[in-house]
Amino acid sequence: MKIALKVATILLDKADPKLQSTEFEMILPDGTDVAGMLDAMGLEDRLVGSVTINKRRSPLDAAIADGDMVAVIPAISGG
Amino acid sequence: MDDVPGLLEALEAAAAGRKEGSAEYRCVTLDDVSKLADRFGLSTRQVSTFALEQGLLPLRYLKNIGTIGLEGQAKLLSSRALLVGAGGIGGSAAELLARMGVGTIIIADPDVYEETNLNRQNFCCKGALGLCKVDVTAERLLEINCDVDVIRHRIAAGSENLPGMLASVDVVIDALDSIDDRLALQQACSDAGVVMVHGAIAGTALQVTTIYPGDAGLKGMLPPAAAEGKAQGIEVETGNPATTPVLAAVIQVQEAVKVLLGTGNTLRGKMLYLDLEDWTFEFIAL
């Protein structure tokens, strides 16, 4: 399946391999969930605060579907 | 406030008309408010509140009034805000609350200022290094607005002491610096029936949401990975530069004012995520 992915700038160089753009399309096996997508991106869970699917915050086990718009927001807690 | 014999007459004698836009207000200067407080054995906040209730305006609030009105200003003066954390966000939020005229500001923070705070924390300066943040902040707030009553807690807010701190509080500003502490604060606020305005920063990014009792709020965030000590976010990599704490504080205090006055659309049920580096501006449905 193909999804439209948007990644917060702060996370670009935390992915493995590093990402070159904040917005791109990504091909994933059908049935991939949020945790599987983060794993495929090489992003450590501890750096990710929210993943939204079509603008709605979604848990790690949420299924992603073909054509979804997915955004990855970092975990931030500085004060 | 109860009537004080002679106070209204004294305020009216001191008041002078002042045009502001298309409106004209009868204003009382800070000097007159202070003198009348001394003369009648009242606090300046009592005199300011009484004046507002009578349609007179303490001049110090003139530039607030076009936005929040005399009634709104009186309401803020009788409101109580708990500020948890007096660091980067907390220092700026404290100043904004005082300048808006929130009458009681309760501040909790166990720390003293250290050199690494100089880059961003509002009241941190060379002479304050080693001093308690709540003490320095309280003294500065009283210089900014003598109407404000500042209550200091030189302790870390936690589940054991938050119920006491939250008693009679109208709104809470989360200016903490760990995910665990923020979750504990959300739970305590929910238990106490108090609205919490969350804000956090990392590098050029910030997030803010307003959490009402029972809302999912931060509980729907992805669980932080197990780590030694308290869970933190990507700020351990990006650091916390000077700009984002101030902007987070601005948004949080505006949210708090809306909560206190019951006006406007708040960030309830959605989180604003903003990155100043590239103008990412996302609203995340919670």
**Beta strand B171-174 with A48-53: parallel, antiparallel or unpaired?**
unpaired
Is B243 found in the same domain as B119? yes
Q: Which of B24, B41, B68 is the last residue of a domain?
A: B68
B44 plus B149 within the same structural domain: no
DSSP per-residue letters across B168-193: T-SEEEE--S-HHHHHHHHHHHHHHT
For residue B74, is it within any domain?
Answer: no
H or E stretch at B53: helix B44-53
Distance, CA of B248 to CA of B90 (rounded, Å): 10
Chain A touched by B178 (CB under 8 Å): yes
Tens digits of residue pLDDT in B220-233: 887 665 456 678 88
ipTM summary value: 0.91
B240 domain-assigned: yes
Residue with tokens 């939250």: B166
- Angle subtended at Cα A22 by Cα B252 and Cα B220, rounded to the nearest 5 degrees: 45
CATH H-level superfamily of A2-74: Beta-grasp domain (3.10.20.30)
Distance, CA of B204 to CA of B152 (rounded, Å): 30
- Chain B, residues 58-117, CB within 8 A of chain A, namely 85, 87-90
C-alpha distances in angstroms, B27 versus B19, B67, B73, B145, B158? 10, 17, 14, 17, 43
Q: Tell me if A75 and B222 make a contact (CB, 8 A cut-off).
A: yes
Looking at the predicted structure, is the pLDDT value of residue B2 above 80? no
CA distances from residue B24 to B19, B28, B30 in whole angstroms, order as listed: 4, 13, 18
What residues in B contact A49, CB-CB < 8 Å? 207, 221-222, 233
Containing structural domain, residue B32: 7-68
The pLDDT of B127-148, averaged and rounded, is 98
- The minimal CB distance from B88 to the residues A11, A14, A79 is found for A79
Question: Do B286 and A57 lie within an 8 Å CB cutoff?
Answer: yes
Same domain? B89 vs B216: yes
Please report the residues numbered 181 through 200 in chain B whose beta carbons come closer than 8 angstroms to any beta carbon of chain A.
182, 199-200
To the nearest whole angstrom, how far is the Cα of A5 from the nearest Cα of chain B? 14
Which of B222, B243, B272 would you mutate first to test chain A, the one with the most A CBs within 10 A? B222
CB contact under 8 A, B224 and A46: yes
B107 CB contacts (<8 Å, ≥6 apart)?
B83, B86, B90, B94, B134, B137, B138, B150, B151, B152, B153
Q: Which of B244, B261, B236 is nearest to B204 (CA)?
A: B244
Q: Are residues B26 and B104 in the same domain?
A: no
Same domain, B89 and B204: yes
- ∠ CA(B204), CA(B286), CA(A44), 5° rounding? 55
Q: Which residues of B touch A74 (CB under 8 A)?
A: 202, 205, 233-234
Question: Do both B103 and B64 map to the same domain?
Answer: no
Question: What pLDDT is recorded for position B225?
Answer: 55
pLDDT for res B87: 98
Domain end position, chosen among B68, B99, B119: B68
Q: What is the DSSP letter of A18?
A: P
| Interface touch A8/B201, C-beta < 8 Å | no
Q: What's the domain count of chain B?
A: 2
Q: With an 8 Å Cβ cutoff, are B234 and A22 in contact? A: no
Q: What is the pLDDT of residue B41?
A: 97
- Residue B237, phi then psi, degrees to nearest 5: -95, -40
Which pair of tokens denotes residue B151? 């209550």
For B203, the token pair is 């590098």
Per-residue pLDDT of B16-73, as tens digits, reads 999 998 999 999 999 999 999 999 999 999 999 999 999 999 999 999 999 999 999 9
Of B175, B201, B234, the CB nearest to A75: B234
The verdict on B119 and B171 lying in the same domain is yes
Question: In terms of domains, do B41 and B177 share one?
Answer: no
CB contact under 8 A, B202 and A11: no
Q: Does B227 lie in the same domain as B110?
A: yes
Residue B73 lies in a domain: no
Cβ separation B85–A79 shorter than 8 A: yes
Looking at B29, B48, B68, which one is the last position of a domain?
Answer: B68
pLDDT of B228:
60
pTM value is: 0.95
Residues B170 and B276 placed together within one structural domain of the fold: yes
Query: What's the pLDDT tens digit per position in A22-48?
Result: 999 999 999 999 999 999 999 988 899
Q: Please confirm whether the linkage preceding A17 is cis (ω < 30° from 0).
A: yes
Q: Take residue B63 and report the two structure tokens written for it.
A: 């530039």
Are residues B97 and B193 both part of a single domain?
yes
Domain regions of chain A by residue span: 2-74
Let me know if residue B1 belongs to a domain: no
Contact predicate B245/B89, CB 8 Å: yes
The alpha-helical segments, DSSP class H, found in B101-238 are 133-144, 162-166, 179-192, 235-238
Count other Cβ atoms within 10 Å, centred on residue A20. 8
How open is the CA angle B132-B138-B144, to the nearest 5 degrees? 140
Size of interface A-B (CB pairs under 8 A): 124
Note whether B57 and B133 are same-domain residues.
Answer: no
